[in-house]
Structure 1
Amino acid sequence: MEAETKYEMEVKKYVKKGFKVFFMILIAILFAFLIGFVIMWLWNWLMPTIFGLTTIGYWQAIGLLVLAKILFGMGNHSSKGKSMKKERKRKMEDWCKSRKEFADWKHYDNFWKEEGEKAYTAYVERIENESKNEQE
């Protein structure tokens, strides 16, 4: 008795999955037809009036959609989208770091006037003395 209920539950689970897949495919097909009609309707409403173009049929509207997809790559691919989000986040972090580092430069002129020139002169003298000592 238990074995039958176990198998029945598994069958019900697969039947539910099958219905979900079937309805998802059905919805996708209906959506594709709807998009084609919307494109056709918009074209036939706008283009002849604005640009003096001829009207198009349903399959021509689908062709336009496919052409736009090829030319412009409409839609977001999930694998690309995730890497693009990571890249955008990385760029933002770099920008924030560089901005903070740049903010430290507001003190540069004062430092150079007070200590930098003396420190640089001392550094040059030390390097020259070291090179003279090595030559001797």
Structure 2
Amino acid sequence: MKQFFYKGRFIFIPLAFAACISAVSFVVMQLWNHLLPDILHVTTINFWQAMGIFILCKILFGFGGKGGPGNAPWARRRMMEKCKNMSPEEREKFRTELENRMCGWGKRPFGRRDSNFDDRFKTNTERTSPQGDTPSV
């Protein structure tokens, strides 16, 4: 049984791929033909045109990954290897340079906090008084 499935998967995978593409193309065709002629006054499309629209959209807009550069597992692994070989000083320099390039992206309230986090986001009236014991409001 296991040997049959092992040999049969080379036939099953292309058939499953074709079935998925056909099902999605049918859904695209139905949605187009039921919505867009009334909304945008366009003509109806056939199955092959719907498949072409679907493939074109996949080429233009991507294939549904997690999104964004750096989210790929191989990129994360490569970055971890680079950081592993850095000294703590180099790592902190890299982190500050990355935060500067990202326009403060890592300084959000729900992100990573460092020792100066609260002081950066307080206004002048909320900071401590010259005596240093109580904040002036």
- The TM-score bracket by the shorter chain reads 0.5 to 0.7
Q: TM-score with structure 2 length normalisation? A: 0.53
CA shift at 1:53, angstroms?
0.4
Structure 2 counterpart of 1:82, one-letter code: A
Alignment of 1:2-13 (within 5 A): 13=2
CA shift at 1:24, angstroms?
2.8
**Structure 1, unaligned runs of 5 or more:** 1-11, 116-136
CA shift at 1:25, angstroms?
2.4
Between the two proteins, the alignment pairs up a number of residues equal to: 98
| CA shift in 2, pair 1:57/1:73, >3 Å | same
Q: Percent identity?
A: 31
CA shift at 1:31, angstroms?
1.0
Taking the aligned partners of 1:62 and 1:75, their CA distance within structure 2 comes to 17
**Structure 2, unaligned runs of 5 or more:** 77-94, 100-105, 133-137
Name the one with the larger helix percent.
1
Residue 73 (structure 1) aligns with: 62
Q: Is 2:72 aligned against 1:82? A: yes
CA RMSD in angstroms, aligned pairs only? 3.7
Which structure is larger by alpha-carbon Rg, 1 or 2?
1
Q: 2:131 aligns with which of 102, 108, 114?
A: 114
Q: TM-score with structure 1 length normalisation? A: 0.54
Q: 1:26 aligns with which of 6, 12, 15?
A: 15
